[in-house]
Structure 1
Amino acid sequence: MTSVEVKTEAEDSGPGGYAAARLHLLQGEAQSGPPRRAALAELTDDWLAGLFKADAAGVRGAALVAVGGYGRGELSPRSDLDLLLLHDGSADAAAIAALADRIWYPVWDLGLALDHSVRTLGEARKTAGDDLKVQLGLLDARHIAGDLGLTASLRTTVLADWRNQAPKRLPQLRELCEERAARQGELQFLLEPDLKEARGGLRDATALRAVAASWLADAPRAGLADARRRLLDVRDALHLATGRATDRLALQEQDQVAADLGLLDSDTLLRQVYEAARTISYASDVTWREVGRVLRSRAVRPRLRAMLGGGKPAPERTPLAEGIVEQDGEVVLARAARPDRDPVLPLRAAAAAAQAGLPLSLHAVRRLAAVARPLPTPWPAEAREQLVTLLGAGRATVEVWEALEAEGLITRVLPDWERVRCRPQRNPVHTWTVDRHLVETAVQAAELTRRVSRPDLLLVAALLHDIGKGWPGDHSVAGETIARDVAARIGFDRDDVAVLASLVRHHLLLIETATRRDLDDPATVRAVAEAVGSASTLELLHALTEADALATGPAAWSTWRASLVADLVKRVGAVLAGGPPPVPAAAPATVEQERLAIEAYRTGGPVLALRAQTEATEPGAEEPLGVELQIAVPDQPGVLPAVAGVLAMHRLTVRAAELSVMELPDGVSADGATVSGGSVLFLDWRVAAEFGSLPQAARLRSDLVRALDGTLDIPGRLAEREAAYPRRRGAPAPPPRVTVAPAGSQLATVIEVRAQDAPGLLHRIGRALEAADVRVRSAHVSTLGANAVDAFYVTGPEGAPLPGADAAAVARGLEEALRG
């Protein structure tokens, strides 16, 4: 059915015909995007005009006006209808009210959302003056039916008021945009973004239209219309997929929305959304900067003219670098600059701007993008130095980098950047997209350059460490190859290229080893030392590890993780220096641990201790991290699944855990007690309450005693809880993966588990290992967002590592148990 046929059906059939024609239009495959939105707006206009004309007999001086999104003709399938019944006050109030009812009620009867008002021209103008949001909506007023002159008067008056009040209104609008961004986040980085409210979304695009309407400043037009259209297309598909008036692109809807838009997958969808959001965000930054400049200029100009006797002052230009000057709070090109002859000029301008903490002028960036010569291969030394200077500027690097990227200059100097640009990261631990994470890592690394002898290598490694995420397979392996090529292209010598490639290849080595391996096992330290190769590389890798974690998100780094990594670095450093790794203090490590172990051995039962943890966030301030739960139990089968099950029953989330065997020698303990030798399992857990407060230690101990003697049915209790309180299901999680780490230890077999974190997961792992008749010598449990990454050092009943075939069988059985 064509749009003309749809329109005719609506006109012939009244409200019922409109509903049928609307449904036909939305379900049709021939139209989508702007044509469908325009057709839906036209169809709705005709229906509402018909309602108005049928009921407006005898009512003069009235008009039906579309405002807001409907006024712009941007009707998504579930959009509100924003309507104003405007009148000149000459008609009887009762007649106007009756006319309004005869329009509003058919809209409500069809289940359409309606934002409506009835006002005179004077009332509309006063309300707009009092309420900025109303004024913004009226800027897009569009005539539907009635007195066209009345609608024209409204538009003329509102636009005149907006332009006259722009010096006061635009700062208010900017404040609204900033408050909304702080509340909703940045669209270009969110896994479940709000297409309308988040920074870089449709609200910001509308704000840019309002700024342009003020005639005070204008937004960069390149790509802006396409970005707005893309977000509207996604919102259309989202409305149709959900059947709801929602602007939040939830994870569970993304595959369907991508399919409806003809895209490959949800990652492609998010990447297009992020690209659109970046275009709008960058345009917003440039526009608001221009608004501020104009308003400052207007405030200062009268005084300057008075001082200069009415003459026009020349703008001040302060040199920053060769060919680069500061003018009016921005970095611009000097008049004598020749970007067509100076290939280093873009990097020199970016470095100067970042070091000065100033934005790059839009005009300067566009001129550089248009005429700058490409850099030769390998780069001249100055180009490499300017890149390092840009990366070392800290937080100011981000804004400058985004300006270069908006005009395509980043992918011109680093072509491999295209694969990571706007690439989403599905792991909720990550705050940023891949490309922004790389820049954020460089920002964090800039704070650590005083700790290393080669800060240039640290900064470049930070920028490249995840560059392989745009390629299939292990991103560290792919990244090593790319980093080697990039490092040679930008002019590093052979030795430096090898170091950068090694840093990218092993950028996860320290954090993964420190949190998932037994540092007391000589094989652990020796393997890291062999991979790193030199003390100078270890120094760089330590700083890169910290910068990478800090740039990932709050869940990726803590005082505890930092201490584990520092301990590993100390041990590896000793090996690289030619000596043995530092020997840890003999267990038990503390008097408190020794006391718990002795009491457990004496009583023959579990002993628990709870202790609140804090982390220093700044001098004099501490942030709560959760609770440390220490448990000592005489060595016996079933301890791990019993403890994990009891914690899950009490709704305690395990953030991290360490399990080790403590051998109590014969003799006198620290507290003077006489001890006969024996083995005690010591579990050090970091837990947090899922709901409410923590249970008492006595209750935990009581349930643990019952779990160990078999009188507490933990699987049954967990199943009952799951049935009573089913969890909300989002996007399907990837299946669990269980692997055997080759050569992970000479004393035990290392089995690594990666799975979706869930209540009772550790209990299920423990039961499966018990069923496999293996002994857990030590365990290293960590949670990163929704992912559990656990390593278990296991032996056979006789205490020796498992043969290869047996280890593979245990891993297969554990994976099958977790899949089930």
Structure 2
Amino acid sequence: MTETSLETTDSGSGGYAADRLRLLQQQTLTGPPLRAALARLTDSWLAGLLGRTRDIALVAVGGYGRGELSPRSDLDLLLLHRESADGAQVAAVADRLWYPVWDLGLALDHSVRTPAQARRTAAGDLKVHLGLLDARHLAGDPALTAEVRATAYRDWRAQAPARLPELRESCEERARRQGELRFLLEPDLKEARGGLRDATALRAVAASWLADAPRQGLEEARALLLDTRDALHLTTGRATDRLSLQEQDQVARRLGLPDADALLHRVYRAAHTVGYASDATWREVGRVLRARSARPRPRRVPGGRGGWGGRAGRGGFAQPERVPLADGVVEQDGEAVLARTARPERDPVLPLRAAAAAARAGLPLSAHAVRRLAKAAPLPVPWPPEAREALLTLLGAGEHTVAAWEALEAEGIVSRLLPEWERVRCRPQRNAVHRFTVDRHLVETAVRAAALTRRVARPDLLLLAALLHDLGKGRPGDHSVTGAMLAREVAARIGLAERDAEVLALLVRHHLLLAETATRRDLDDPATIGAVADAVRHTETLQLLHALTEADALATGPAAWSAWRATLVAELVRRTAAALAGEPAAARAPQAPGPGQRLLAEEARRTGAPALTLDGGELLLAVPDQPGVLPAVAGVLALHRLTVHTAELTGGPVLAMRWRVAAEYGEPPQADRLRADLARALEGSLDIAARLAERDAAGRGRRRGTVPPPPSVTVAEGGSHDATVLEVRAEDAPGLLYRVAHALEAAGVWVRSAHVSTLGASVVDAFYVTDTDGAPLDAAKTAEVVTAVGSALG
């Protein structure tokens, strides 16, 4: 499309609509040129609608005022008129403007005001005042627009000490409500922290002349977010700012990206840039406002003019005190800054030393200091001990580590120190359990690990493992295996001893071992304990792995760690430590029913009906042996929305079961209701399959997002000496355990125990199964059972 074709083909709305459609459908114009062309096209149409008028001006404000018109953006318009203008004429002009816009179905945010009214409205409404800062004349009397714009800027600068704190509070409140863009799987590109509204707020701060944002990469980040919103509007045909899961692949293709992950990665990096600039800018605003409100007090210096002196600046007033923090690093006015004598280009350790000092003091690194640190000389390989110690000090500083680390990231310093980091920086994790991107999760794990260093003999290795444990997620293949290789490379670069490097690699390789084993394997089986002991080899390493497991889970999110999981992991560690100490592992013996189970078994024998108790999260159950018991129990628990964690079964004339369960929400059901429904299920009057299918159909309509991968059923080779261990991985759904149990029952195998682990929308369940004689399944039977369970999962 040529430049001349961007003008409307006639003065009517039909011509504008046709030209607008052609503009949006052609593929060669994208990004800022597309937004500018759409704004010019709309300017020309609106100017034609206004026609020749006196004492009236049409003004674009907000995003349209900036000439950044996205395909489905609102038209933010202000119709200005002089006090002396005829009211009827103004109303007629407004109708001539607004109705054609509405007739085309375009969103319109409009107002009609005199310059004085516009000024009064802006004084009481922050949003209006911000919009006027972007006022742009479209048509009519240009003097009116110039008057309103000049007044808006003059008032903004005069009122900045009051208005900027108001703007900051609105940004913080919005962040609390919408979350941080770069950690959201379905981010709001405009409202979330680090989004377009924050970028606009930074422009307003700059307009106040009080402070300015770090400029590097900021305009590119804002343009990328705008480009993404344009593609979202064109993909959906709606005025939306939320980048939902089901639309991300289409938006990515429209932007020429391979997939949704590449899209999120770019969006997250842009949001990180805007967020960092916001933090630095608001700190500077606070510093300036504090300085303005403080009364300067002269200090006496011997021999100075008039007897006054000291460290005096212009006007004879004292400069902010500089308190040493570390070699080359001082505190000044609430920030960590570089000392006047610091020379980053000659001091390669200074970036780490400065970040460590800032984190230990709980201070932000000043943006100016970080820009200077980016010019530091490269560290020699291997690193000198001082650099390694500074890194460990930074990682061990607790919650203040995050801000210092992200300050280094903003200028690319982390990726220069650890080139492997670039592959995980702002990398999305498509798992609802994870709160953060991969890079932020690694830093958060170090924060959590810092609180656990008193529990281990080598806190340095714990902190390094926390930082590196998911580094392999930036490469193809098993991230634990790849991560172990990368950990060895990092260890050599930073100068770790060979034995320490091997321990570090082992921690990274097995960082999931304890959590997965504890929740998916039978801890009473000697093979389980033996496998963990063979992997960790030393008690000191086991302690480190225990602390790393807890830190990793806590940094992941609430769903990844609970009192139940913590108890299971601690018990696994206790038994493994005993095995490493040489204590013989007892062979698995049939578990004898406890007193409560014996009473329930006696009641079941006497009545011929199920007997059960539900105390907290423990369900004890006794049922006369008959076909279909396990599927019936699993189905009834699913109907009552009880999540199963573990299940243990003891055979005999009466089946004894011990289940660990938790209510999905609310209070657990009464034991009498469970007993009655279980009796109905066993006698066939309760159609569990139909009830669960009905609930699944209702929930399917509400579920959104990408299609989950198909379920898998595998055999854990060596998982047990006296049972076959089946591992089921699938998308969580009502009655999943019921379907698996039904398939195992139909296959004619005995389920000795089940261990259920739910992580977000996915489950990983382990079933210890034997034949009817209590022996592990042979190869043919195992293949038959795997096929049957896979078919049941669909």
Which bin holds the TM-score, normalised by the shorter protein?
Answer: over 0.9
User: Which amino acid in 2 is paired with 1:780?
Assistant: H
Partner of 1:751: 726
Q: What is the aligned partner in structure 2 of residue 673 from structure 1?
A: none
2:305 aligns with: none
Could you say what secondary structure the match of 2:73 adopts?
Answer: coil
Change in CA separation of 1:341 and 1:589 when aligned onto 2, cut-off 3 Å: farther
User: Does residue 118 in structure 1 map to residue 118 in structure 2?
Assistant: no
Alpha carbons of structure 1 residues 470 and 405: separation in structure 2 relative to 1, 3 Å: same
Corresponding residue for residue 456 of structure 1: 460
Determine the structure 1 residue equivalent to 2:541.
Answer: 537
1:711 to 672, 676, 685: 685
Contact map agreement 1:740 1:808 (CA 8 A) in 2: no
State the partner residue of 2:338.
Answer: 333
> Are positions 1:814 and 2:789 aligned together?
yes
Summarize the alignment of residues 365-514 of structure 1 with structure 2, pairs less than 5 Å apart.
Answer: 365-370=370-375, 372-514=376-518
Contact 1:633 1:681 (8 Å CA) reproduced? yes
Provide the secondary structure at the position in 2 that maps to 1:135.
helix
Write the distance in 2 (CA, Å) between the matches of 1:62 and 1:151: 9
- SS of 2:662 mapped into structure 1: strand
**How is 1:636-785 mapped onto 2 (pairs within 5 angstroms)?**
636-650=626-640, 652-654=641-643, 656-662=644-650, 679-689=654-664, 695-723=669-697, 726-730=700-704, 731-785=706-760
SS in structure 2 of the partner of residue 82 of structure 1: strand
- How far apart, in 1, do the equivalents of 2:618 and 2:200 lie? 50
Sort the Cα spacing of 1:79 and 1:611 in 2 relative to 1 into closer, same or farther, 3 A. farther
Query: How far apart are residue 550 of structure 1 and its match?
Result: 0.2
Q: 2:699 & 2:272 partners in 1: Cα distance? A: 40
From 33, 36, 39, give the equivalent of 2:34: 36
In 1, distance between residues paired with 2:639 and 2:527? 37
1:61 corresponding residue in structure 2: 55
1:326–1:332 Cα contact (<8 Å) kept: yes
* In structure 2, C-alpha distance between the alignment counterparts of 1:24 and 1:628, rounded to whole Å: 66
Q: Is the 8 A contact 2:74 2:108 kept in 1?
A: yes
| Aligned CA distance change for structure 1 residues 461 and 122 (closer, same or farther; 3 Å) | same
How far does residue 597 in structure 1 lie from its aligned partner after superposition?
Answer: 4.2
**1:514–1:304 CA distance, 2 compared to 1 (3 A):** farther
**Deviation, structure 1 residue 584:** 10
> How far apart, CA to CA, are the structure 1 residues paired with 2:589 and 2:368?
63
Checking the alignment, whether the CA contact within 8 Å between 1:782 and 1:790 is kept in structure 2 is yes
CA contact (8 A) 1:629 1:687 kept: no
**2:623 pairs with 1:633:** yes
Contact 1:597–1:682 (Cα < 8 Å) also in 2: no
Taking structure 1 as reference, are residues 497 and 680 closer, same or farther at Cα in structure 2, changes over 3 Å only? same
How much does 1:594 deviate? Answer: 4.5
Letter in 1 for 2:692: L
Distance 1:813 1:486 in 2: 46
Task: Extract unaligned runs of 5+ from structure 1.
Answer: 613-626, 664-676
Cα offset, 1:61, TM superposition = 1.2
- CA offset at residue 729 of structure 1? 4.0
Return the alpha-carbon distance in structure 2 between the equivalents of residues 562 and 242 of structure 1.
44
SS at match of 2:710: coil
- Indicate if the aligned counterparts of 2:642 and 2:668 stay in contact, CA closer than 8 A: no
Sequence identity percentage: 70
CA gap 1:255/1:171 in 2 versus in 1, 3 angstroms: same
TM-score in terms of structure 1 length: 0.92
- Matched AA of 1:531: A
TM-score between the two structures when normalised by the length of structure 2: 0.95
Structure 1: distance between partners of 2:598 and 2:504: 45
Distance in 1 of aligned mates of 2:421 and 2:104: 50
Q: Residues of 2 paired with 1:596 and 1:487: CA distance?
A: 58
* 2:288 pairs with 1:294: yes
Residues 589 and 100 of structure 1: is their aligned pair in 2 closer, same or farther, counting only changes over 3 Å?
farther
The question of 1:362 aligning with 2:350 is answered no
Q: 1:655-695 CA distances to partner (integer Å, 9 max, x unpaired)? A: x33221246xxxxxxxxxxxxx85533141423246x7654
The 8 Å contact of residues 11 and 48 in structure 2, kept in 1 or not, is answered as no
Q: Does the 8 Å contact 2:56/2:144 carry over to 1?
A: yes
Deviation at 1:20, TM superposition (A): 1.1
1:44: Cα distance to partner?
0.8
8 Å contact from structure 2 (residues 183, 268) kept in 1:
yes
Matched, 1:317 2:311: no
| Cα-to-partner distance string for 1:375-433 (whole Å, 9 max, x where unaligned) | 11111111111111100000000000000001011011111101111110001000000
Q: Is 1:518 the counterpart of 2:522 in the alignment? A: yes
The Cα shift of 1:724 comes to 5.5
Q: Note if contact 1:204-1:280 (Cα within 8 Å) is conserved in structure 2.
A: yes
Counterpart amino acid of residue 14 in structure 1: G
SS at match of 1:443: helix
Cα displacement (A) at 1:447 = 0.3
Tell me by how many angstroms 1:653 deviates: 4.8
> What displacement does 1:365 show?
1.2
Q: CA RMSD in A?
A: 2.0
Aligned partner of 2:433: which letter?
A: V
- Counterpart contact for 2:484–2:508, Cα < 8 Å: yes
The answer to whether the 8 A contact 1:739-1:752 is kept is: yes
Give the letter for the 1:796 counterpart. D
Corresponding residue pairs, total: 782
For each residue in 1:517-574, what CA deviation from the matched residue of structure 2 results, as whole angstroms up to 9, or x when unmatched? 0000010001100101000000000000000000000000011110000000000000
Identify the range of structure 1 (457-466 vs 93-102) with the bigger mean alpha-carbon deviation: 93-102
Matches within 5 A, 1:67-82: 67-82=61-76
> SS of 1:159's equivalent?
helix
Give yes or no for contact 2:525–2:587 (8 Å, CA) kept in 1. no
Which digits, 9 at most, give the CA deviation of each residue in 1:16-40, with x for residues without a partner? 1111111111111111111110011
1:185 aligns with 2:185: no
* Separation (CA, whole Å) in 2 of partners of 1:529 and 1:164: 70
Provide the residue aligned with 2:134 in structure 1.
140
Say if 1:64 and 1:437 are closer, same or farther in 2 by CA, change over 3 A.
Answer: same
Partner of 1:669: none
Q: What residue number does 1:622 align with? A: none
- Structure 1: distance between partners of 2:579 and 2:245: 47
CA distance in 2, matches of 1:399, 1:134: 33
Aligned counterpart in structure 2 of residue 214 of structure 1, from 189, 192, 208 = 208
Alignment of 1:189-204 (within 5 A): 189-204=183-198
The AA in structure 2 aligned to 1:350 is A
Cα contact 1:601–1:680 (8 A) shared by 2: no
Deviates more, 1:572-581 or 1:515-524: 572-581
Q: 1:563-582 maps to which residues of 2 (within 5 A)?
A: 563-581=567-585
Counterpart selection for 1:149 from 130, 143, 146: 143
Residues 297 and 318 in structure 2, CA contact (< 8 A), matched pair in contact too: no
Shift, 1:595, TM fit:
3.7
For 1:576-591, what aligned pairs fall within 5 Å after superposition? Answer: 576-581=580-585, 587=591, 591=595
Q: What SS is found at the alignment partner of 1:793?
A: strand
Give the whole-Å Cα distance in 2 for the aligned partners of 1:30 and 1:589. 74
Aligned position for 1:20: 18
